[in-house]
């Protein structure tokens, strides 16, 4: 029996998302209209932030772009943010948008080499503790000189590769058969338990790697976008930045790596899962199959990917151009020399990046509301007022305040607001240059370290949450928060102690 038009509209709204979820989003949209006139734009702005975080938390139920986008559109209609402010936020973050558009797609064309290399590592290192430590150290080292999003894209690509190989064989297919690894319908019953263990294994590796990007990214001038911003305002060069941050970043790095080992040893917070023997056997079979089918054409493709990888690392390490432009160069080189010239072949590479790019612009819309409604201003004013907070206590308060606000907002935006206020205080002669350097360090480490607590606190974490990998390995918002909790406690605790005692 054909349904009525209203019933069809309701059914189509947010597609296959649960009915309770659809009703919740509609309730948000309706109540916001009431809130804006009864509670005012300031309180409604904070409510909007919580609603947007809810859409992120429910990412496995419905991709956040649609519900989050509806909230962003409504905020503009209600006058909470002007389109020009949103445009300015997006423009200020254009390098990140460019990175997502091109660098993530560039990594897609390098996935054969990445899977080839990481398969050797996975099979060669049998100790899960050592493997986790390696993932964390490599992610930290690469993020210090390259870019956290690029490193995360590499880890995601590798993990999807591992998952698809096992899922294909566990579903009764051979290595070279096309297969939809997002569906478990064809999965053989005897493999289901191993698949769950493998998911847990990949979740822990990805979280170790993701936290590693934060541990390394905070250390250098080029590690995170806000680092460069703060260094530019403070007048620091690469060496200056590293030296000034080191009393905080180095102890936190060591503590973070020790935490990685302890989590694997204890198995707490969802860590400790080992690679099932059945999965190892299948991956070994895949490795042997790759060796047998290593034709001259295949070797040539891997060689090209390897050479382009060297060019990529060199270009990023020396920042020869914006990261996104280097990503575009990677796409052109890999596709040209490996014979990928048809439009539909190129389109697949952008399927992963563009939805997240759109979501990030929606996120900037919410940041625009924060900016337009001055949601953080009372907190900043209270901290900078020496009648409320003594000069000696300011660094610690700055560290914690930046951390908390970065957990719910964009850490680049938070850093911009705080460093601008502190620079204005310096120019007005209200603080000394020495105190400015201490506060700048507190701002930088505050926006980088405690923000690992939530996926919206770090762009790399948000990218992981909304990637194609997350639903495959059952990595939800809540699970990410739980798995990040021990790291959050350690990194925030050590960071706070270092800021208040060693600067």
Span 84-129, pLDDT tens digits: 999 998 888 888 888 888 888 888 898 888 888 888 888 888 899 9
Cα separation, 438 vs 224, whole angstroms: 19
Cα separation, 322 vs 149, whole angstroms: 14
DSSP class per residue in 198-261: HHHHHHHHHHHHHHHHHHHHTTSTTSSHHHHHHHHHHT--HHHHHHHHHHHHHHHHHHHHHHHH
The CA-based angle 61-74-96, given to 5 degrees, is 70
* Residue 68 pLDDT level (bands cut at 50, 70, 90): very high
Q: Residue 439: is its pLDDT beyond 80?
A: yes
CA-based torsion, 27, 57, 199, 104: positive or negative: positive
Task: Give the mean model confidence (pLDDT) for residues 319-325.
Answer: 84
Q: Residue 265: is its pLDDT beyond 90?
A: yes
Alpha carbon of 473 to those of 125, 245, 268, 342, 460: distances in Å? 22, 36, 18, 32, 17
Q: Residue 495: is its pLDDT beyond 70?
A: yes
Q: Residue 412: is its pLDDT beyond 90?
A: no
- Residue located via tokens 């979740």: 203
Cα separation, 311 vs 331, whole angstroms: 12
Return the structure tokens found at 16. 């296959």
Q: Residue 235: is its pLDDT beyond 90?
A: no
pLDDT of residue 393: 84
Please state, rounded to an integer, the average pLDDT across all residues of the chain.
88
Q: Please, are residues 463 and 96 in contact by the beta-carbon 8 Å criterion?
A: no
Q: Please, are residues 452 and 214 in contact by the beta-carbon 8 Å criterion?
A: yes
pLDDT of residue 99: 83
Cα separation, 174 vs 79, whole angstroms: 56
Q: Residue 488: is its pLDDT beyond 80?
A: yes
pLDDT of residue 179: 66
Task: Give the mean model confidence (pLDDT) for residues 343-364.
Answer: 86
Give the list of residues 6+ apart from residue 51 with CB closer than 8 angstroms, or none: 28, 32, 71
pLDDT, one tens digit per residue, over 179-200 is 666 677 667 777 788 889 999 9
Reading phi first (left if > 0) and then psi (alpha if -120 to 50, else beta), residue 294 is in beta
Nearest to 48 by CA among 18, 78, 20: 78
DSSP class per residue in 134-147: HHHHHHHHHHHHS-
- End-to-end Cα distance, the chain: 72
Cα separation, 469 vs 166, whole angstroms: 14
pLDDT, one tens digit per residue, over 19-66 is 999 999 999 999 999 999 999 999 999 999 999 989 988 888 899 999
Nearest to 68 by CA among 27, 25, 109: 25
Nearest to 357 by CA among 63, 155, 160, 81: 63
pLDDT of residue 143: 86
Q: Residue 257: is its pLDDT beyond 90?
A: yes
Cα separation, 161 vs 261, whole angstroms: 25
Q: Please, are residues 481 and 263 in contact by the beta-carbon 8 Å criterion?
A: no
Alpha carbon of 446 to those of 43, 259, 368, 491, 492: distances in Å? 25, 19, 21, 10, 8
Task: Give the mean model confidence (pLDDT) for residues 287-315.
Answer: 88
Cα separation, 51 vs 24, whole angstroms: 10
pLDDT, one tens digit per residue, over 2-14 is 667 877 888 889 9
Cα separation, 27 vs 310, whole angstroms: 51
pLDDT of residue 268: 94
- Helix, strand and coil percent figures for the chain, each rounded to 5: 80, 0, 20
Maximum Cα–Cα distance across the chain = 76
Residue 368 φ then ψ, to 5°: -60, -35
Least confident piece of the model among 128-132, 205-209, 220-224: 220-224
Cα separation, 391 vs 375, whole angstroms: 24
Q: Residue 388: is its pLDDT beyond 70?
A: no
Cα separation, 111 vs 95, whole angstroms: 23
* Residue 153 pLDDT level (bands cut at 50, 70, 90): confident
Cα separation, 134 vs 211, whole angstroms: 13
Return the structure tokens found at 68. 């989050």
Question: What is the DSSP code (8-state) at residue 3?
Answer: P
**6 vs 388: which has the higher pLDDT:** 6
Q: Residue 409: is its pLDDT beyond 60?
A: yes
Question: What is the DSSP code (8-state) at residue 273?
Answer: P
pLDDT of residue 442: 94
pLDDT of residue 20: 93
Q: Residue 356: is its pLDDT beyond 90?
A: no
Task: Give the mean model confidence (pLDDT) for residues 269-279.
Answer: 92
Cα separation, 11 vs 6, whole angstroms: 9
pLDDT of residue 316: 79
Helix ranges restricted to H, 2-127:
5-12, 19-38, 40-57, 65-77, 83-92, 94-108, 111-124
Cα separation, 441 vs 245, whole angstroms: 6
Task: Give the mean model confidence (pLDDT) for residues 394-420.
Answer: 85
pLDDT of residue 127: 92
């Amino acid at each position: 029996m054909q349904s009525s038009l209203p019933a069809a509209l309701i059914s189509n709204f947010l597609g296959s998302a649960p009915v309770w979820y659809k009703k919740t989003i509609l309730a948000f949209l309706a109540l916001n209209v009431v809130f804006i006139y009864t509670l005012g734009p300031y309180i409604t702005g904070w409510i909007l932030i919580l609603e947007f975080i809810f859409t992120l938390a429910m990412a496995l139920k419905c991709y956040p772009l649609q519900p989050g986008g509806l909230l962003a559109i409504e905020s503009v209609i209600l006058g909470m943010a002007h389109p020009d402010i949103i445009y300015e936020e997006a423009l200020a973050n254009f390098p990140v948008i460019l990175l997502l558009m091109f660098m993530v797609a560039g990594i897609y064309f390098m996935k054969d080499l990445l899977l080839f290399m990481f398969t050797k590592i996975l099979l060669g290192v049998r100790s899960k503790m050592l493997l986790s430590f390696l993932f964390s150290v490599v992610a930290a080292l690469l993020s210090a000189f390259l870019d956290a999003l690029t490193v995360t894209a590499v880890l995601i690509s590798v993990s999807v590769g591992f998952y698809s190989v096992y899922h294909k064989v566990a579903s009764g297919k051979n290595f070279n058969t096309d297969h939809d690894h997002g569906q478990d319908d064809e999965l053989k019953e005897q493999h289901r338990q191993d698949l769950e263990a493998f998911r847990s294994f990949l979740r822990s590796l990805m979280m170790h790697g993701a936290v590693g990007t934060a541990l390394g990214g905070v250390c250098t001038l080029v590690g995170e976008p806000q680092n460069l911003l703060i260094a530019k305002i403070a007048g620091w060069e690469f060496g200056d930045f590293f030296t000034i941050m080191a009393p905080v970043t180095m102890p936190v790095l060591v503590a973070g790596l020790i935490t990685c080992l302890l989590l694997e040893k204890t198995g707490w917070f969802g860590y400790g899962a080992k690679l099932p023997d059945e999965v190892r056997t299948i991956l070994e079979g895949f490795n042997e199959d790759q060796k047998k089918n290593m034709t001259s054409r295949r070797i040539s493709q891997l060689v090209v990917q390897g050479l382009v990888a060297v060019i990529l690392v060199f270009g990023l390490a020396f920042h020869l151009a914006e990261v996104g432009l280097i990503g575009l160069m990677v796409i052109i080189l890999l596709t040209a020399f490996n014979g990928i010239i048809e439009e539909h072949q190129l389109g697949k590479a952008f399927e992963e990046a563009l939805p997240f790019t759109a979501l990030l612009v929606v996120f900037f819309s919410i940041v625009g509301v924060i900016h337009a409604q001055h949601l953080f201003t009372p907190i900043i004013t209270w901290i900078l007022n020496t009648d409320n907070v003594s000069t000696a206590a300011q660094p610690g308060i700055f560290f914690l305040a930046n951390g908390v606000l970065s957990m719910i907002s964009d850490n680049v935006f938070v850093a911009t607001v705080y460093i601008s206020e502190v620079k204005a205080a310096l120019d007005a002669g209200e603080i000394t240059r020495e105190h400015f350097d201490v506060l700048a360090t507190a701002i930088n480490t505050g926006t980088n370290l405690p923000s690992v607590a939530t996926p919206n606190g770090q762009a790399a974490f948000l990218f992981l949450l909304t990637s194609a990998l997350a639903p495959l390995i059952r990595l939800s918002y809540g699970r990410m928060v739980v798995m990040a909790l021990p790291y959050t406690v350690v990194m925030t605790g050590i960071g706070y102690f270092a800021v208040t005692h060693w600067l």
